Amino acid sequence: MVIHPLSIILVKSDSKGDRLLFRYPHMTNNIRDSTQCTKRKNPYSLINTEDLLQSLPFPTSNVSNGNLTGLTDEVLSTLFAVKPELCEQKFELKVNDVRFVGHPTPVLSRSFKEVNSSMLFNIVFALQAQASHSIVRCYYDLSKR
């Protein structure tokens, strides 16, 4: 059984919006432009790579080589941005074969610009969905600290 997380994600929410601050491992873009993959004799010709009779199946796995894939930074920041009502509670979300575990925490700050501004931080661990409850509990406790 694998006990290592697929990814570690840190999301901040404040009055300016939601933002993904950190993601490990960083998602690299392995998709190359079609002009880089194939050389064309005529620069004005089009390469048709889609089959209109058969649609490609939607990928149901977000795990590739032990890493989290298929979710952009924007999607992750939207998923893990929390409202103040959900702070200081266990956060758990399952998407396909990935279980996200975290504990959103508010950080109150007093500044000269704003009378009482607050930021919400959410450290989220991405685990295999079939991870045992004891492993999920350990990562939840770690996100609470």
75 falls within a domain: yes
Using the 8-state DSSP alphabet, how is residue 44 labeled?
T
Q: Over the stretch 16-40, which tens digit does the pLDDT of each residue have?
A: 888 899 998 876 554 444 444 456 6
116 falls within a domain: yes
* Cα–Cα distance for residue pair 141/82, rounded to 1 Å: 18
1 falls within a domain: no
Q: What is the mean pLDDT of residues 46-67?
A: 70
- For residue 119, count other CB atoms closer than 10 A to its CB: 14
In the predicted structure, residue 41 carries a pLDDT above the cut 60: yes
* Total count of domains within the chain: 1
Strands 98-102 and 67-68 come out as unpaired
16 falls within a domain: yes
Query: What's this model's pTM, rounded to 2 decimal places?
Result: 0.71
Q: Over the stretch 90-114, which tens digit does the pLDDT of each residue have?
A: 989 998 889 999 999 988 766 655 5
2 falls within a domain: no
Residues of the domain holding 91: 7-32+46-144
40 falls within a domain: no
